Amino acid sequence: MADVSLTWLGHSAFRFDTPGGKRIYLDPYLDNPKCPEGEKQPERCDLIVLTHGHDDHVGSTVELHQRFGCPVIALVELRGWLAGRGVEENAAHAFNKGGTLEWEGVKITLTDANHSSSAFENGTFVYLGEPAGLVLEFENGLTVYAAGDTNVFGDMQLIGRIYQPDVAILPVGDHYTMGPREAAVALELLGVRTCVPCHYGTFPVLHGTPEQLRELTDVDVLAPAPGETVALPAKVAA
């Protein structure tokens, strides 16, 4: 089976091409200043998965859904809010933490995250449920934990124990999320072999860097450039 390919689209936006030939977008904020021009208008999208409701994560979700008819998987409140904004209602794609759903052979689980989740509308913040992380177990068994926006928290050890992720996508930019110092501890708690940093460099306040993380961890820190695709090697047999 082919490897999972991961393409960083700047900020916390990623595209996965799965071993089964599906294309999944995670937090598709494609209008971010680091997203390459050629990636702003996707040619294809089979599924969108979201960690929380802030607009630097929801991004182009509604537009992509309307263009491709792709399902959108998210926490119940966020999914309900999107249903009121042009994303077709689908109760099966609205779930909550600890829940796993399967889509085309990919298992998707919502985990905890420490952050906030809201939309700013008509001068006020609208509650969009709790922020979350996501565990994606691909068709070949490769498991990726995308932490979403969060600080480090002790229960990352539980995520490591239960889902045994191979790769952790962690925010490292600091200010709104953890920076490299906390991310290094997150990697210890998770026990992963590879880290893909994100949520850095988009704006000047997101000043944490992958280089700073590398100085604090022995875990392999893969830091693709915006638009660069890397293969995530399949799980090593125990």
Interface positions with Zn ion (CB under 5 A): 56, 149
What CA–CA distances, in Å, run from 226 to 13, 51, 141, 215, 237?
Answer: 10, 20, 26, 22, 31
Closer CB to Zn ion, 114 or 157, in the complex: 114
Q: Provide, rounded to whole angstroms, the least separation between the CB of residue 176 and Zn ion.
A: 6
Helix ranges (H only) for 53-155 are 55-58, 61-68, 76-83
What CA–CA distances, in Å, run from 169 to 17, 135, 150?
Answer: 16, 10, 11
Closer CB to Zn ion, 56 or 77, in the complex: 56
Q: Provide, rounded to whole angstroms, the least separation between the CB of residue 149 and Zn ion.
A: 4
Closer CB to Zn ion, 143 or 177, in the complex: 177
Closer CB to Zn ion, 54 or 79, in the complex: 54
C-beta atoms surrounding 111 within 10 Å: 22
Q: Provide, rounded to whole angstroms, the least separation between the CB of residue 199 and Zn ion.
A: 6
Q: Provide, rounded to whole angstroms, the least separation between the CB of residue 173 and Zn ion.
A: 9
Closer CB to Zn ion, 106 or 223, in the complex: 223
Query: CA-to-CA distance for 179 and 183, rounded, in angstroms?
Result: 6
Query: CA-to-CA distance for 163 and 125, rounded, in angstroms?
Result: 33
Q: Provide, rounded to whole angstroms, the least separation between the CB of residue 133 and Zn ion.
A: 12
